[in-house]
Structure 1
């Protein structure tokens, strides 16, 4: 049986997979970026939990990351569209079907990356904060 952390990350991946871009989880950047853009979900860091007693609960603000990458002629518009679609997907269900207390994304910091012999990339890491509680830090 998967842990609550894995269940939440899988639900976030599923939510992102409904977007028109290619969505990977924990993979390396492929040689080619698909026309609709590319998203790579990184599991990130759960951080130090706040602990409450009676009943015992560990409250996390897990920081996952989405790497968003576009390539091609009109990178600025494509990147903006991709980021907006991520925001809309998260806003549609801030609890991922009741699996966590709240999901929120932080603003991206885009960079342009030159690629020798190909169109340059526009990319950013978009932090996504997953607020949830669990009864055991390893479960």
Structure 2
């Protein structure tokens, strides 16, 4: 049985997979970027929890990351549409179906990456903060 943390990350991955871009989880950047763009979900760090004692609960502000990558002549417009679609997917249900208390993305910081012999990439990391509580940090 998956832990609440894994269940939340799986739900976030499912939400991103519904977008037109190709979505991966924890994979390396493939050789080719699809025309609709590419999203790679990185599990990130749960960080140090705040603890309440009665009842015992560990409250996390888990920082996951979404790598957004586009390539091609119209990469600025495709990148803008891709990041906007990620934002819309997250704001549509900020609790991921009640699995977490709140989901909030931070602004991406895009960079252009030259590729020898091909169109350059436009990429950014989109930090996503997942607020949730667990009864035990390991289960």
TM-score range, shorter chain: over 0.9
- What are the equivalent positions in structure 2 for 1:20-31 lying under 5 Å apart? 20-31=20-31
How far apart are 1:17 and its partner, in Å?
0.3
| Partner SS state of residue 136, structure 2 | coil
2:115 alignment counterpart: 115
Q: List gaps (5 residues or longer) in structure 1.
A: none
The one-character-per-residue Cα deviations of 1:63-108 (angstroms, maximum 9, x if unpaired) are 0000000000111111000000000000000000000000000000
* Whole-angstrom distance in 2 between the partners of 1:42 and 1:132: 17
Deviation at 1:126, TM superposition (A): 0.2
State how far apart, in whole Å, the 1-side matches of 2:33 and 2:53 are. Answer: 48
**Distance in 1, Cα, partners of 2:77 & 2:119:** 15
**Alignment-derived partner of residue 36 in structure 1:** 36
**1:8-65, CA deviations, whole angstroms, 9 ceiling, x for partnerless residues?**
0000000000000000000000000000000000000000000001100000000000
Q: Secondary structure at the match of 1:97?
A: coil
Deviation at 1:130, TM superposition (A): 0.2
Q: How many Å apart are 1:6 and its aligned residue?
A: 0.2
Q: Determine the structure 1 residue equivalent to 2:62.
A: 62
* Corresponding residue of 2:128: 128
Deviation above 4 Å: which 4+ runs of structure 1?
none
CA distance in 2, matches of 1:111, 1:32: 18
